[in-house]
């Protein structure tokens, strides 16, 4: 671990971070906030007006997300003009993809960094401040942004401040990047090839978080189940081994992982569903389409049958497993029959919440060059039909939970009433129920009284004495 350099701070205001996209970005934003608090004493604020530094942590998976960045930068022009000493930094996948083009389109940007260089942010800010001071001394205004969008791989994790929990559940990034190169996806180009954090580093981070009261970890990676972490003895650990080790950390009682690739669902990972009760009965496993032909065009490397077989194996071990996925509608040339195969797959497997979007051509990816004769209006109709089916299935899962007893991790007081608590079920449903604040951070059994569209209403029940989780602390009511 290297020593983090503390800088003299010229800032009187706080730090405002706007995050787009995936959970990896959310995780990165949390780590940036911690890093800038340590190095510049910057405190997170929840409005740009109270800030001296703005960071946009961007996403370029779809065109819309990318364009939002430039809209946002347009809105920040006035903010910068009001106090020119303020700093604007742009990070994430748009920064990685566009580099200096960002500065050309938005000259107010001072620093441009990529997902793998965010640990260098304090030094880049210092360079930007030094440059500004020099320009003032020389009485000339040189317009220049500090840019570093390289991929120095694992260096990032060695140069971040120690993790700090802000709740009972925490993300832990275990691997970065992607080497799958699906024909539609920009991630391998913006985040670089897959690389995994060393096994001991991940477990050390989980142990620190657990000592701060974290009870649930969500192991993160663009392809988290491709994890291959070097161990101290030179062996390589897979995600299954990591899950077993995370389970052994005192205090950790619930484990999630996201996002996975169907080709990396190894037997050892499937076996975890029988061996690790702390692993939730919910799996996010994107398939994108129900058509083998489209899967081949997407270069996903598997067929629908193989995906279904994986789900069947896990459901044999955990019949209660709920499933979510990602779907791309209107891939270039997608026929009506191919789309119907997606609907049929969704119907057969029964999904519980999913992400579905119209295909967005991404510059530099192979699919952006594929001929596409499907009208946008047709794509929109297909998306609507799919989403109706997915929403109906989600509502049915919620409805089927009514009357059931759910194991809930209590997260906080409810936002709506101080007499109520908010927690989450294994399938990530928010449940509100009456209870005392001393239950925060505990696992309790809650009966689902009523299912609403986005949450559940529950009632605390007496918890059973003999419970399958040996190391779970149950509070007697």
Residue 362 binds what, of ligand F3S, ligand SAM, none (CB under 5 to 8 Å, by partner type)?
A: ligand SAM
| Closer residue to ligand F3S, CB minimum distance, 163 or 332 | 332
Query: Nearest residue by C-beta to ligand SAM?
Result: 326
Residues 6+ apart with CB under 8 A from 393: 346, 350, 351, 352
Which residue from 297, 328, 349, 409 is in contact with ligand SAM, where contact means CB under 6 A?
328
Tell the smallest beta-carbon distance from residue 286 to ligand SAM (Å).
4
Distance in angstroms (rounded) separating the CA atoms of residues 174 and 172: 6
Cβ(423)–Cβ(398) below 8 Å = no
Which of the stretches 107-115, 180-188, 275-283, 387-395 binds ligand F3S when contact is defined by CB under 6 A?
A: 180-188
Tokens of 206: 């989980």
Binding of residue 196 to ligand F3S (CB under 6 A): no
Distance of alpha carbon 32 from alpha carbon 242, whole angstroms: 25
326 lines the binding site for ligand SAM (CB under 6 A) = yes
360 binds, among ligand SAM, ligand F3S, none (CB under 5 to 8 A by kind): ligand SAM
Among the listed residues 119, 180, 379, 407, the single contact to ligand F3S using CB under 6 A: 180
4 in helix, strand or coil? coil
CB of 346 to ligand SAM, least distance (A): 14
Q: How many Å separate Cα 381 from the centre of its chain?
A: 28
Reported as type and span, the H/E element at residue 98 is: helix 92-98
Q: Which residues pair with 18 in a beta bridge?
A: 56
Identify whether the C-beta of residue 121 lies closer than 8 Å to the C-beta of residue 111.
Answer: yes
- Contacts of ligand SAM in 45-74 (CB under 6 A): 61-62
User: Which listed option, ligand F3S, ligand SAM, none, makes contact with residue 181 (CB within 5 to 8 Å by class)?
Assistant: ligand F3S
Q: Which is nearer to ligand SAM, 159 or 223 (by Cβ)?
A: 223
Determine, following the binding rule CB under 6 A, whether residue 367 of this chain makes contact with ligand F3S.
no
Site for ligand SAM in 233-292 (CB under 6 A): 259, 261, 286, 288
| Separation in Å, CA 226 to CA 172, 273, 287, 426, 453 | 15, 17, 16, 23, 34
DSSP for 406-433 reads EEEEEEEE-SS-TTEEEEE-TT--EEEE
The residue whose two tokens read 């190894």 is: 266
**Minimum distance from residue 180 beta carbon to ligand SAM (Å):** 7
Termini Cα distance of the chain: 45
Nearer to ligand F3S, 120 or 261 (CB): 261
**Distance of alpha carbon 254 from alpha carbon 278, whole angstroms:** 5
Question: Out of ligand F3S, ligand SAM, none, which partner does residue 79 contact, by CB within 5 to 8 A per kind?
Answer: none
- Size, binding site for ligand F3S by CB under 6 A: 10
- Using the minimum distance from each CB to ligand F3S, give the nearer residue, 18 or 299: 299
Report the C-alpha gap between 332 and 335 in whole angstroms.
Answer: 9
What is the SS3 string spanning 150-178? CCCCCHHHHCCCCCCCCCCEEEEECEECC
C-alpha–C-alpha distance, residues 35 and 177, integer Å = 21
CB of 263 to ligand F3S, least distance (A): 9
Size of the site for ligand SAM (CB under 6 A): 17
Residue 188 binding: pick among ligand F3S, ligand SAM, none (C-beta 5-8 Å cut-off by kind): ligand F3S
The interface partner of residue 92, options being ligand F3S, ligand SAM, none and the CB cut-off 5 to 8 Å by kind, is none
Q: Which is nearer to ligand SAM, 62 or 103 (CB)?
A: 62
User: Which residues from 427-466 bind ligand F3S, rule CB under 6 A?
Assistant: none
Q: Looking only at residues 227 through 286 of this chain, which bind ligand F3S when binding is defined by CB under 6 A?
A: 261
Binding residue for ligand SAM, selected from 359, 379, 431, 433, defined by CB under 6 A: 359
In the DSSP assignment, the letter for residue 279 is B
The least distance separating ligand SAM from the CB of residue 324, rounded to whole angstroms, comes to: 11
- Distance CA(420)–CA(347), nearest Å, equals 36
Other beta carbons less than 10 A from residue 114's beta carbon: 26
- Contact between 188 and ligand F3S (CB under 6 A)? yes
Pairing of strands 51-58, 146-148: unpaired
Stretch 213-232: interaction string toward ligand SAM, x if CB under 6 A: ---------xx---------
Tokens 């209006």 belong to 377
Kindly compute the dihedral angle of the four CA atoms of residues 368, 372, 378, 383, in this order, to the nearest 10 degrees: -30
What x-and-dash track marks residues 169-188 binding ligand SAM by CB under 6 A?
---------------xx-x-
Q: Residue 358 has which token pair? A: 């119209």
Stretch that binds ligand SAM, among 42-50, 309-317, 358-366, 383-391 (CB under 6 A): 358-366
The answer to the question of residue 103 lying near ligand F3S (CB under 6 A) is no
Which chain residues interact with ligand F3S by CB under 6 A?
178, 180-182, 185, 187-188, 222-223, 261
């Amino acid at each position: 671990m290297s020593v983090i350099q503390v800088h003299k701070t010229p800032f009187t205001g706080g730090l405002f971070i706007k995050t787009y996209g995936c959970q990896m970005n959310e995780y990165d934003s949390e780590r940036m906030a911690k890093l800038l608090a340590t190095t510049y004493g910057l405190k997170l604020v929840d409005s740009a007006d109270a800030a001296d530094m703005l960071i946009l942590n961007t996403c370029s998976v779809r065109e819309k997300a990318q364009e939002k960045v430039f809209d946002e930068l347009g809105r920040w022009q006035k903010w910068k003009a009001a106090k020119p000493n303020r700093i604007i930094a742009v990070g994430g996948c748009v920064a990685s993809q566009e580099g200096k083009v960002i500065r050309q389109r938005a000259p107010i940007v001072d620093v441009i960094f990529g997902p793998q260089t965010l640990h260098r942010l304090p030094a880049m800010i210092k360079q930007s401040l030094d440059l500004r001071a020099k320009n003032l001394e020389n009485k000339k205004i040189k317009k220049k942004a500090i840019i570093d969008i390289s991929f120095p791989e694992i260096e990032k994790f060695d140069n971040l401040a120690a993790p700090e929990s802000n709740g009972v559940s925490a993300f832990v990034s275990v691997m970065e990047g992607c080497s799958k190169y699906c024909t539609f996806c920009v991630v391998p180009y913006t985040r670089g090839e897959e690389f995994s954090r060393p096994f001991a580093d991940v477990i050390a981070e989980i142990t620190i978080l657990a000592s701060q009261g974290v009870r649930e970890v969500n192991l993160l990676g663009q392809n988290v189940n491709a994890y291959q972490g070097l161990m101290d003895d030179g062996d390589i650990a897979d995600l299954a081994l990591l899950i077993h080790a995370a389970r052994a950390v005192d205090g950790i009682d619930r484990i999630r992982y996201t996002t996975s690739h169907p080709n990396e669902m190894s037997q050892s990972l499937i076996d975890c569903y029988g061996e690790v009760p702390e692993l939730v009965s919910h799996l996010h496993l994107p398939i994108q389409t129900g058509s083998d032909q489209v899967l081949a065009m997407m270069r996903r490397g598997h067929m629908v049958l193989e995906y279904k077989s994986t789900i069947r194996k896990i459901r044999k071990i955990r019949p209660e497993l709920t499933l979510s996925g990602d779907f791309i509608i209107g891939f270039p040339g997608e026929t009506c029959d191919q789309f119907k195969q997606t609907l049929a797959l969704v119907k057969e497997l029964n999904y519980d919440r999913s992400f579905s979007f119209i295909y967005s051509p991404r510059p530099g990816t192979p699919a952006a060059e594929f001929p596409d004769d499907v009208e946008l209006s047709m794509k929109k109709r297909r998306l609507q039909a799919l989403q109706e089916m997915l929403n109906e299935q989600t509502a049915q899962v919620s409805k089927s939970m009514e009357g059931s007893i759910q194991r809930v991790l209590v997260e906080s007081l409810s936002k709506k009433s101080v007499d109520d608590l908010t927690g989450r079920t294994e399938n990530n449903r928010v449940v509100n129920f009456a209870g005392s604040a001393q239950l925060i951070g505990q696992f309790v059994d809650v009966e689902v009284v009523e299912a609403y569209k986005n949450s559940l209403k529950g009632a605390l029940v007496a918890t059973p004495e003999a419970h399958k989780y040996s190391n779970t602390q149950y509070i007697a009511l």
